[in-house]
Amino acid sequence: MSKILEIENLTVSFDGFKALNNLNFSMDSGELRVIIGPNGAGKTTFLDVITGKVQPTQGRVLFKGKNIQKLPEYKIARLGIGRKFQTPRVYLNLTVRENLDLVCNQNKNVFSTLFGRPNSGEQRTVAGLLETIGLDTKANLSANLLSHGEKQRLEIGMLVAQSPDLLLVDEPAAGLTDEETENVGALLLSLAESHSIVAIEHDMEFVRQIANDKVTVLHQGALLCEGTMEEVQNDPRVIEVYLGEAPE
Amino acid sequence: MNLEFETGIQRKQKERRYKLIEIAVILTAIIILAAILPSVIPAFRLRLIGRFLSLAIVALGIDLIWGYTGLLSLGHGIFFALGGYALAMYLKLQLPEAQIPSFFTLYGVQELPWIWQPFYSFPFTVLALFIIPGIVAGLIGYLVFRNRIKGVYFSILTQAALLVFYNFFNGQQELINGTNGLKTDTEQIFGVLVSSSGVQRTFYIITVIALFLVYLLCRWLTSGRFGRLLKAIRDDETRVRFSGYDPTGYKVLVFAISGAIAGIAGALYTVQTGIITPSIMQVAFSIEMVIWVAVGGRGTLIGAIIGTLLVRLAQTFLSESFPEIWLFFQGALFLIVVTVLPDGIVGWWQDYGWVKLRSLLGGNQPLVTYPSLAEDPDVQQERDSMSGN
Ligand SMILES: Nc1ncnc2c1ncn2[C@@H]1O[C@H](COP(=O)(O)OP(=O)(O)O)[C@@H](O)[C@H]1O
Ligand SMILES: [Mg+2]
């Protein structure tokens, strides 16, 4: 199976502090990979590097075998990497439908955005997505009136609208009620059928719900261990790292 | 499902109704401004209104870049002046064969500087008065936005650019008469004195038409996907990048258009004032432009026009009756707007005024909570089921 994402000897230092330390990572096309790790382990920084927000001090990032370092964020996004942020970031002054439509736009150059009109394919995509994320009755509602969980789902919908091959989701269950967490989990699982996904998570309950493939544990910017949920949970190093935290 | 269908249709109807109201209001305004006003008020008042309407045009440009795109420019005086100077230079050249504008002799200049040559042509001038400021704005924008300078730093840079232009124009006596500027009232256009009432009335009508066209342009730019992207850039530019858009191009284009609009405003203002000098590029004037938009309501377009007219009419009235208090009034006005009406007059009207008025008129009151919440189908359904029982 081909690799969708390969990361080689990645180091990111902020004024000498190594947020990522010689990290190696790779995942197959079609995989749903869960990354866990305590606070400050470098999980968000890891996504920052892949999406071009932070330049690595050392190392390479390959997407479908192509080196994507030094490309600006928007070009990386156009290559097919979509990112959901830790706190939901949707456009609050636009409606739910407009949020999706903006991302769905096939040609994102200035003049085609100015003169183009949404084609029927794009309209269908938006309508389909509204249903997938369960917000079809709120399509014309301004996004600032959505609940936290609905914003999370909308942002995931926006990712998909971008039609990326790789979805990066940063703590999608943070701050959600149990029911909403389950909704988001189910949404991710259904998306996993047609996308490669990296999901970063904190909440072990949620990880158990979605981790069918491999789980990667990050600790202090480096890879601690990797394996199935079962293996990872019983690994003594993982238990030690998580010991200070709530027992799972 | 059924519910969604109904609200969809209601929405369309409401949108159509608003559109009709808007068209009616605009047409009425144009008729009053262009057809009625010129025959009922004295010429010097008309000239004053013409100036205010020119200022409303630049306010639209500020609203485009600030209200919709979130970039607070404190340097629009540059583009305003460039438009004004372009037209003034053309008027200055309406002379008998082989003569050059008389101010040149003060500085011993014998030959027309090359930069003046193209302004013999009327078509060139008409294009130049918005294309030159547009290009200058585009260049400044490109340098700034490419380096991801935004927020306060952008505002400071635009103001610094304004100072550079201001000092440069002041120093160029041999080129554009320095501090004294260019007088247009005593010049001729197509053989008629610029300050004559016929020419002034024509400029007034052109101003009304220009304001209308610029308004339509801004409406077009701010609706649809492009307009929504501008708001997205304003609200969360980083997110926009991760969605595959490069915000730089959008910001450069909008800043250039905004600059071009300021150029048109500057040209019309100049001929209805009678003179243009570098003092038009004083910092206070560029800040005043921002105040008009803040008073009227950012991101509403119509608010920019209303704000400009209100502030300027108040200024005229107050400074005619009580010249010494105007500056205090202006400061107080800005403070009031920032603290009490952060969304400006139009923003306030949309949020509260309209609802109040409807309830006073005894109309139906679906908007018992926050307007948008009442449109929420879930809430609506809850209400219906409760009242249905
Ligand atoms: N821009 C930055 N400058 C300095 N330090 C940073 C920066 N971004 C992250 N860090 C540090 O890097 C470490 C990893 O952060 P992060 O990737 O956000 O962790 P996680 O998402 O796993 O909680 C933290 O100690 C954080 O303080
Ligand atoms: Mg994080």
Summary mean pLDDT of chain A: 90
Residue B369 is predicted with a pLDDT of 45
Instruction: Reply yes or no on whether the pLDDT at A111 is more than 90.
Output: yes
The β-bridge partners of A32 are A197
The reply to whether B296 falls in a domain is yes
Q: Is some CB atom of chain B closer than 8 A to the CB atom of A87? A: no
Q: Where are the beta strands (DSSP E) in chain A?
A: 3-14, 17-28, 32-36, 58-63, 66-67, 81-84, 166-170, 196-200, 215-219, 222-227
Residue % of chain B over a pLDDT of 90: 67
Is the minimum distance from the CB of A74 to ligand 1 under 6 angstroms?
no
Burial (Cβ within 10 Å: 0-12, 13-18, ≥19) of residue A148: middle
Atom of ligand 1 nearest to the CA of A42: 17
Residue A106: band (very low, low, confident or very high) from pLDDT cuts 50, 70, 90: confident
Instruction: Reply yes or no on whether the pLDDT at B21 is more than 60.
Output: yes
- Of B262, B264, B99, B127, the C-alpha closest to B188 is B99
For residue B150, what is the enclosing H or E element?
none
Residue B335: band (very low, low, confident or very high) from pLDDT cuts 50, 70, 90: confident
Is the minimum distance from the CB of A51 to ligand 1 under 6 angstroms?
no
Provide φ and ψ at A180, rounded to 5°: -65, -40
In angstroms, the separation between the Cα of residue B356 and the nearest Cα of chain A is: 22
Residue B388 is predicted with a pLDDT of 43
In angstroms, the separation between the Cα of residue B219 and the nearest Cα of chain A is: 12
Residue B363: band (very low, low, confident or very high) from pLDDT cuts 50, 70, 90: low
Cα–Cα dist A53/A43, whole Å: 14
The reply to whether B368 falls in a domain is no
Phi-psi region of A195 (alpha: psi -120 to 50; beta: other; left: phi over 0): beta
Residue A215 is predicted with a pLDDT of 93
String of DSSP letters for B73-121: -S-HHHHHHHHHHHHHHHHHT--STT---THHHHTT--S--GGGGGGG-
Tell me the per-residue pLDDT of B201-223, one tens digit each, with 9 for 90 and over.
Answer: 999 999 999 999 999 999 999 99
Instruction: Reply yes or no on whether the pLDDT at B387 is more than 50.
Output: no
Q: How far is the CA of A14 from the centre of ligand 1 (A)?
A: 8
Atom of ligand 1 nearest to the CA of A39: 23
Average pLDDT for A19-28: 93
Closest Cα to atom 24 of ligand 1 = A40
Average pLDDT for A94-118: 92
Phi-psi region of A164 (alpha: psi -120 to 50; beta: other; left: phi over 0): beta
Q: How far is the CA of B19 from the centre of ligand 1 (A)?
A: 50
The reply to whether B201 falls in a domain is yes
Average pLDDT for A65-72: 91
The reply to whether B4 falls in a domain is no
B66 with B73: CB under 8 angstroms?
yes
Tell me the per-residue pLDDT of B45-101, one tens digit each, with 9 for 90 and over.
Answer: 999 999 999 999 999 999 999 999 999 999 999 999 999 999 999 999 998 888 899
DSSP secondary structure letter of residue A248: -
Is the minimum distance from the CB of A14 to ligand 1 under 6 angstroms?
yes
Cα–Cα dist B75/B159, whole Å: 5
- The residues spanned by each domain of chain A are 3-90+146-243, 91-145
pTM, two decimals, is: 0.90
Residue B317: band (very low, low, confident or very high) from pLDDT cuts 50, 70, 90: confident
Does residue B260 or residue A228 have the better pLDDT? B260
Instruction: Reply yes or no on whether the pLDDT at A247 is more than 50.
Output: no
Instruction: Give the count of beta carbons closer than 10 Å to the beta carbon of residue B389.
Output: 5
Instruction: Reply yes or no on whether the pLDDT at B234 is more than 70.
Output: yes
Report the CATH superfamily, name and number, of domain A3-90+146-243: P-loop containing nucleotide triphosphate hydrolases (3.40.50.300)
In angstroms, the separation between the Cα of residue A142 and the nearest Cα of chain B is: 8
The reply to whether B235 falls in a domain is yes
Ligand located closest to A38 CA: 1
Average pLDDT for B144-162: 94
Residue B2: band (very low, low, confident or very high) from pLDDT cuts 50, 70, 90: very low
* Predicted ipTM of the assembly: 0.90
Residue B385: band (very low, low, confident or very high) from pLDDT cuts 50, 70, 90: low
Residue B12 is predicted with a pLDDT of 80
The reply to whether B373 falls in a domain is no
Does residue B2 or residue B348 have the better pLDDT? B348
B32 with B40: CB under 8 angstroms?
no
Q: How far is the CA of A200 from the centre of ligand 1 (A)?
A: 14
Residue % of chain B over a pLDDT of 70: 91
Residue A115 is predicted with a pLDDT of 92
The reply to whether B295 falls in a domain is yes
Q: How far is the CA of B297 from the centre of ligand 2 (A)?
A: 38
How big is the CA angle at A147 (ends A143 and A153), to the nearest 5 degrees?
A: 75
Residue B382 is predicted with a pLDDT of 55
Domain that holds residue B107: 41-96+103-342
The total number of structural domains that make up chain B: 1
The reply to whether B16 falls in a domain is no
Cα–Cα dist B79/B84, whole Å: 9
String of DSSP letters for A201-232: ---HHHHHHH-SS-EEEEETTEEEEEE-HHHH
Average pLDDT for B251-268: 98
Residue B377: band (very low, low, confident or very high) from pLDDT cuts 50, 70, 90: low
Does residue B348 or residue B305 have the better pLDDT? B305
Tell me the per-residue pLDDT of A176-233, one tens digit each, with 9 for 90 and over.
Answer: 888 889 888 998 999 999 999 999 987 788 888 888 889 999 999 999 999 998 888 8
**Cβ-based contacts of B235 with chain A (< 8 Å):** 91-93
Residue A183 is predicted with a pLDDT of 87
Ligand located closest to A12 CA: 1
Is the minimum distance from the CB of A45 to ligand 1 under 6 angstroms?
yes
- Nearest chain A residue to B221 by CA distance is A114
Burial (Cβ within 10 Å: 0-12, 13-18, ≥19) of residue B207: buried
Place of tokens 């991710």: A188
Average pLDDT for A62-80: 93
Ligand located closest to A46 CA: 1
- Of A80, A48, A75, A68, the C-alpha closest to A6 is A68
